[in-house]
Structure formats: structure tokens, C-alpha cells
Amino acid sequence: MPLKKALVPVGRIEQRILLIRGEKVIIDADLAQFYGAPTKRLNEQVKRNKARFPNDFMFQLSAQEKSELVANCDHLANLKYSKTLPTLLPSMAL
């Protein structure tokens, strides 16, 4: 049986995993991109299905953390102009 090709290369996913507050996380915008969905829609679905996740499953960045993240991660430059604070999910959410 032939091996299946990954939809998103593993290396690309690994590059998006961040260490914040001592946790390995992935930002909601990156996770939504992997799934081919808008970030807003991903967050709506997680909120709509809260009972399926532990209480500490995700957390939101503070404004200062957001600024630091944007300054350190080139691919998140567009977050600089976002009014909403990013949500982080555990990297095991993939």
C-alpha cells in the first residue's frame, strides 16, 4: 500500500510551534491556515464546542505578549494591525 502524502508538511508545522508561558502552543491564525479556514471561524467553532475541550485548552495573549510575538515572528506581522488578541492552542491540537 503506497504511503499517503501529508496535507501540510511536518517541517512547516514544527516551524509554527511556539514556546509561550512554558507551553508548546500554536497560534490560532497558523492553525486555521493549516485547516484552510478563516481564523474567526476556527475560534467560533472552538467556542461553540467548549464542552469537548478542557477548561485550560486555550488561552489568549496579553497586548504586551502580542507585541513581542509580532516583533519576533516575521510571518505574524499582519497581527500587528488586528484589534483582537490572538488565541493560543496546545501544539497537540494538530
C-alpha span between 84 and 49 (Å, rounded): 20
C-alpha span between 93 and 91 (Å, rounded): 5
- Positions of the chain with pLDDT under 50: none
pLDDT at residue number 1? 54
The DSSP code for 37 is S
Query: Would you kindly state where each structural domain of the chain is located, as residue ranges?
Result: 10-93
The grid cell for 61 is: 495573549
Class of domain 10-93: alpha beta
Q: Give how far Cα 21 sits from Cα of 24, 37, 69, Å.
A: 8, 26, 12
Q: Say what the pTM is.
A: 0.76
C-alpha span between 52 and 65 (Å, rounded): 27
Q: What is the CA radius of gyration of the chain?
A: 14
